[in-house]
Chain A
């Protein structure tokens, strides 16, 4: 099993550009989440989904959009990148009834 796959691994954007971070899982997990990791702040929840077609906001949702059209995929969209969005982004998936999260390898995003 590949587990949770994130692409790209690295990305540099200019302020105002848009992009989509991809996340796919092959474990048939119901739940998927996006986190950002910043020094001294741990991981903060951006958005999460409890199943296809259902998403909700986490702690820091502003500037990000998500959708969940299939169980496998949970892309994160930055509509207009800002330097404050420079961070490492992690996608995670979980199975119903088991709250152990499996994480992807991360995407390191720099906005200049």
Chain B
């Protein structure tokens, strides 16, 4: 079965520190990849997505992610985090354009200390 793994369950950083959150998936076919963010008490919002083309994708709020096909990875990065980035981050995969069928990772809770 397809699966998505996020390596870090809880990350604590100080403001201005750099961030990298790991995401690996298990499916070898055509994939679309996403990072979603969930701020406390809110619903999920899309940070960025990869469908094809340049494997380095840029999203909102200074986030970026790199798709490395050989490693089945799609890691999220931000050079300098802010307190307002405190949230839970989810990696998700859609396989073979199967509409409505996103497979999510377990989530990574990010706490940024002011």
Contact = CB atoms under 8 A, between A and B. Distances in A.
The answer to whether A and B come from one shared complex is yes
Given A40-B9, A99-B32, A100-B49, A105 B101 contact: no
B29 interface: no
10 contacts: A30-B99, A31-B100, A33-B100, A42-B105, A43-B102, A48-B100, A94-B99, A94-B100, A96-B99, A99-B97
A42 B44 contact: no
Contacts of A27: none
Interface in B73-99: 90, 92, 94, 97, 99
Interface of B: 4, 6, 9, 32, 34, 42-46, 49, 51, 90, 92, 94, 97, 99-107
A77 interface: no
B9 A43 contact: no
Contacts of B103: 45, 59
A105 B44 CA distance: 8
B52 to A, nearest CB: 12
* SS of A interface (majority): strand
A42 B106 contact: yes
Given A30-B99, A103-B43, A104-B43, A43 B34 contact: no
Contacts of A82: none
Contacts of A58: 101
Interface string A55-78: 000110000000000000000000
Given A40-B106, A99-B32, A103-B44, A49 B100 contact: yes
A104 B38 CA distance: 12
A101 B102 contact: yes
Contacts of B105: 42
A100 B33 CA distance: 10
Contacts of A31: 99-100
Contacts of B32: 99
